[in-house]
Amino acid sequence: MSEPLYEIVPNLSEGRDASAVDAFVAAIEGEGVRVIDRTSDATHHRSVITAVGGGEDVVRAGVALAGEALARIDLRAHRGVHPRIGALDVLPFVPLRGATMAACVRLAHAAGERIWEQHRIPSYYYGAARLAPERAPLAAIRKHAGSWAPDVGDALHEGAGAIAIGAREILIAFNVELATADLTVALAIAKLLRERAGGLRTLRTLGLRLTADRVQVSVNVTDYRATPLYRVTELVRKLAADRGVAIVRSELIGLAPREAIEVTARYYAGLRPGVAYPT
């Protein structure tokens, strides 16, 4: 039997210094974990790294990464459009081959304890790793960090803040850019789509300003089978058109399962589901 395989998808509050992102990747790979994707965005001032490995390895990688982020990121001087609570902002553990959610919860808790012991950076647990029901949504952690006591450690670190450490299933991060300078359009669309505001059950959304003349609907799809990417795009297109605004483009942040890409590609190609076509 092969060892269970886990994924970590750390989000870091650095999207402009390529040498810093190189150092983050090196910290992860130095613990025997394979980095399979890295995405950085200067406007968001954020990088998302996807890495896979064994259970103990991904915990060590998370701890090492927290130390590298502490050395290279100072939130007191950070400016970016994406909300954040920490230098290493989010650290989710995801079950892949032969892995369970219960094991991911144990890994998340172990990472939080070791990061506090070694780097004195506190953590909040979210998702399946939560210690209280109200802390399950990542959005709740963002909203209350600082007023809620951390689950591990005490006050937020002066320069590194805190880390949201979670256990969750595969998530797709997907953004749709709009041809308008009006942030209220993106905020309104995000609210209509957002699960906790009565929208689609699988969506977590934000409205963000990108540039002086562009805004964005930022979407996390928590169940790509229930809500395919083409449906997200077309819903945003319809809601934007109702306000006289067009879509400029969409983008994938990090990776997505092949199935999710194929379903959306078939939709836009006009191919029927379940029918085999010649290649």
Instruction: Report phi then psi at 77, rounded to 5.
Output: -115, 10
HSE of 185, CA atoms in CB hemisphere, 13 A? 24
HSE of 24, CA atoms in CB hemisphere, 13 A? 30
82 belongs to the catalytic site: yes
The catalytically annotated residue of 82, 109, 119, 144 is 82
Both tokens of residue 247?
């879509």
Strand-pair category, 214-221 with 172-178: antiparallel
Residue type at 189 in one-letter notation: I
Expressed in angstroms, the distance from the first to the final Cα of the chain is 35
Alpha-carbon distance 25 to 50, whole Å? 10
Residue type at 250 in one-letter notation: S
**Active-site residues: which are they?**
82
